[in-house]
Amino acid sequence: MAQFTAPDTSSLDRVAYLVGYPIAHSKSPSLHRAIYSALGKQWAQLLCETTDLEAFLRHMKSDPKCMGSGVTMPFKVAVIPHLDELTDEGRTIGAVNTIVFKTGQNGSRKYCGTNTDCLGIRDAFFNNVAGSSYRGKPGLVVGGGGTCRAAIYALQEFMGCSPIYIINRDASEVEAVLQECHARGLGENLMCVSTTEQAKSLTPPGAVVSAVPDFTPRTEDEKTVREILSFFLNAEEKGPLLEMCYHPTPDTEISRLALASGWQVIGGIEAMIGQGLAQASLWTGIEIDDRLRDIARSAVRGQMAGP
């Protein structure tokens, strides 16, 4: 158990936090510090690596310097009952990665949960693929975890993909995703693709989000998923694939497979940058432009290249 210890904020004017466990490897603080430094601000995001969510929330609510917080595993769902309201993204996806402060009618502070992971996925496509339209084309998500839900939201709501195919080694995870999405109004035109024969009867996807760790398929289910993905990638029409896995390296088996098949691979760092920039804008009101995006990208890539 990692108890909560309040970070030292004495050198800062304002601070955002990132709560989760384990998070020592997170690149998020370097992204935020680079943005705020570029604006001449003594602001930062600080890690709160803890398993005690309630202790963190008490500190966050009592800290006069705090302007908001990021939330990562294992708290993206657990934090929801502690919040006053959710945005459409947070409610529909069923997971929160960002806490924003709002002022209530009587002047009190309200704690709002949202999900900027879907914004990061959207921006990864929109900022890295020139002149491509996805509306009406199928989308494909590889995986069945929390990122899968954010990817479905981004593909459906922002990019207009339809239908959305889901492939995953664990059928029960996909069933849970389908049930949750139906309950939250995202279930229309979702389809689990479980065999290569089924894939052959479908229109190939125009955009793919890979939301699984990097691994070599060993079980029969894992091999089947990789075969289905390979079939889709070898279709005549190519498109972009967003490889969400970038730690410890963005050079994954799936990214190599996509490149060899003629697809454009977008690194997951782009989605990470997009969601972080969206957080910064929500917390501070700053407008995100290409200059700040380039500064954030350089900071994160510099940290990844470091020792």
Kindly report the average pLDDT of the chain as a whole number. Answer: 94
If you search the block for the tokens 């020139």, which residue do you land on?
A: 130
2 has pLDDT over 90 = no
Comparing 35-49, 115-129, 131-145, the range with the smallest average pLDDT is 131-145
Phi, psi of 305 (to 5 degrees): -85, -10
Residues 111-139 have a mean pLDDT of: 93
pLDDT of residue 142: 97
Residue spans per domain, the chain: 14-115, 119-268
**Token output for 127:** 């900022």
Residues 274-300 have a mean pLDDT of: 94
pLDDT of residue 185: 79
278 has pLDDT over 70 = yes
pLDDT tens sequence across 193-244: 999 999 999 999 999 999 999 999 999 999 999 999 999 999 999 999 999 9
How far is residue 96's CA from residue 103's CA, in Å, rounded to a whole number? 19
CA 92 to chain CA centroid, Å, is 14
254 has pLDDT over 90 = yes
pLDDT of residue 104: 83
If you search the block for the tokens 């029960």, which residue do you land on?
A: 172
Instruction: Find the helix or strand (DSSP H, E) in which 42 lies.
Output: none
Q: Are 173 and 125 in contact (CB under 8 A)?
A: no
State the amino acid at position 191 in one-letter form.
M
Bond from prior residue into 74 cis (ω within 30 degrees of 0): yes
Residue 303 — very low, low, confident or very high, per pLDDT cuts 50/70/90?
confident
Nearest 10 degrees: Cα torsion 275, 208, 253, 271: -10
How far is residue 26's CA from residue 98's CA, in Å, rounded to a whole number? 15
Sheet of strand 139-142, all strands in order from the earlier edge strand to the far edge = 190-192, 164-167, 139-142, 207-210, 240-243, 264-267
How far is residue 243's CA from residue 208's CA, in Å, rounded to a whole number? 8
132 has pLDDT over 80 = no
How far is residue 119's CA from residue 88's CA, in Å, rounded to a whole number? 12
If you search the block for the tokens 């609510």, which residue do you land on?
A: 61
pLDDT of residue 196: 96
pLDDT tens sequence across 52-94: 999 999 999 999 999 999 999 999 999 999 999 999 999 999 9
Domain 119-268 has CATH 3.40.50.720: yes
If you search the block for the tokens 């997971």, which residue do you land on?
A: 95
**Token output for 295:** 């500064």
306 has pLDDT over 80 = no
Q: Do the domains 14-115 and 119-268 sit in the same CATH topology, yes or no?
A: yes
**Token output for 248:** 């410890």
pLDDT of residue 307: 58
Residue 295 — very low, low, confident or very high, per pLDDT cuts 50/70/90?
very high
pLDDT tens sequence across 27-39: 999 999 999 999 9
CATH architecture of 14-115: 3-Layer(aba) Sandwich (3.40)
Residue 105 — very low, low, confident or very high, per pLDDT cuts 50/70/90?
confident
